[in-house]
Structure 1
């Protein structure tokens, strides 16, 4: 699939020395030391990641490449090139349009994944939300797929299944392994390597369906500028990055939230920041455990959770502003609160059915 980025004339790619593996030049570019190493340009990064995705690189080279990138830290051009390669291989069907690209790769540890309810409210408001993510790469975290299964929602393992779910419910979750299996394998290397790699950043930027809005939750604020710049290079109409609770796209209502935004304006891009004030004067105590039953009780109204409900409403409000469905923070919070108040409380009954995977 062609990217929606504006690309310049391709630059010459590095050539291997006689007898070398074709991927060796990319390890050498990164590993020559403080004075000799450099960042790859976009074309080089695209070619290197393409080789990895096609299975043309040895495992030892992949490990060296990812950790050298980790030490150097990825550049915006490198991330854009990596995403170009992934999008080349994603091949979604034509005509599959969505409003919001929502990535879910971190998992939750401290609080329940309240953002799942925000997705439901956004879908009820008429926004088409495409979710992609990965799970299981970090121990002791709760991932969106398990919560969706507990609430009886299907997971899409093909583009046709995702399109069908989108038409039925205005949102669909497709695991990374369903459209970029090699990339999913690289994410699973985290417990083996002991460190995150650039794969965790580039996965959030894939936007395989070219949604006009790309929302991202990150854990480390210094990465916000990198994601803004990468989104511009990729030509995305609007990218909004927050430091999400646990690294997911979820607002912690106990804290002020800063939105790092990049948006197209005429022929160029505008980079800006917007602050949302905290909603409570005193912080809430985190729960002892995360349980789907507790989330269901909050949804059906049999249990009150001040923190959880505020997280749902304020996360929804943030997305409404970024999607252009609300013109101000105050309007968005009012609209999100109304969506929450008018939700179908008996939607899930008193018990969950087993989730069924779509194929």
Structure 2
């Protein structure tokens, strides 16, 4: 080959020596990810690109550009449909129950339309999201076009990434080869497939909050709640205060929710990971005070975007009342 491959420019920008490498801007990131998703980059280049990004630390502008590239693949297929909340679920190894599913159900019971989307996740020795949703018979869409029909009768619908952006799903499958997660695991959370005005983000590592916030702003997200979530999911840890990086009507702010319990010894990673545990907790067949507070706390954060003038204390009380008054025999 006498000339550099077109994609080489992006590897070169990230991979030059000390004091010579640089971040990519929005358009560069968008073009690079577009080439990858369209099969225009070689496997060697894709691995180098993703690992160089991870090594230097991705920027919000890079995340936004890559998310925009992925979204461009399916935008033409989006149904004419309005939902209230975007709820991504992309943690691949749940070492604790996805109690946040119950918070999403409670939020849907308030009349809000919610699209939850994500990846399958590992199952052996873990507790992924999808089996928990199945316990409550939450419908899983087979495609973007399927959503319009499902949302006619449902307020909470799940859509797997492989059903609306298989090209991006394929990049998740590189993890066993690269040995680490990459930017793919991060920017997929920012896709917001149906352009919901309210978006929730749970991150595993707090430094990623700033990147998600910048990404949301660049992509024009009006309302977003971004916080360190249990297992990297949208789930508040009630044993600690929650410092939430927020966008409310486009305005950036930080909101702090206090801890909801004095207990500090609950061991998330010692939970029973069988999927019917979530259903048992809903029905009141088991008592788990800390997970119950996690559900209440998560719901409280979600409600803030629809009740921006309410205090965190009021929202916690609202969420507690909703939880206590749930229909335990519904499922």
TM-score by length of 1: 0.86
Aligned to 1:283: 264
Aligned to 1:320: 303
Aligned to 1:296: 279
Candidates 177, 180, 184, aligned match of 1:199:
184
Deviations 1:292-317 (A, max 9, x none): 23222221122221112111111111
Shift of residue 107, structure 1, vs aligned partner: 4.7
Q: How big is the alpha-carbon RMSD for the aligned residues of Structure 1 and Structure 2?
A: 1.9
What secondary structure sits across from 1:228 in the alignment?
helix
2:106–2:323 contact (8 Å) kept in structure 1: yes
Q: Is 1:109 aligned to residue 90 of structure 2? A: no
Counterpart-to-counterpart distance in 2, 1:88 and 1:211 = 16
Aligned to 1:97: 82
Shift of residue 288, structure 1, vs aligned partner: 4.0
Shift of residue 274, structure 1, vs aligned partner: 1.1
Counterpart-to-counterpart distance in 1, 2:271 and 2:310 = 37
CA separation of 1:139/1:59 partners in 2, compared to 1, >3 Å: closer, same or farther?
farther
What secondary structure sits across from 1:274 in the alignment?
strand
Q: Which runs of 5+ in 2 are unaligned?
A: none
2:140–2:158 contact (8 Å) kept in structure 1: yes
Aligned to 1:215: 200
Aligned to 1:80: 64
Matches within 5 A, 1:193-272: 193-264=178-249, 269-272=250-253
What secondary structure sits across from 1:272 in the alignment?
strand
> How many residues get paired?
328
TM-score by length of 2: 0.93
Shift of residue 139, structure 1, vs aligned partner: 6.6
Counterpart-to-counterpart distance in 1, 2:146 and 2:322 = 27
Aligned to 1:338: 321
Counterpart-to-counterpart distance in 2, 1:288 and 1:341 = 22
Shift of residue 282, structure 1, vs aligned partner: 2.2
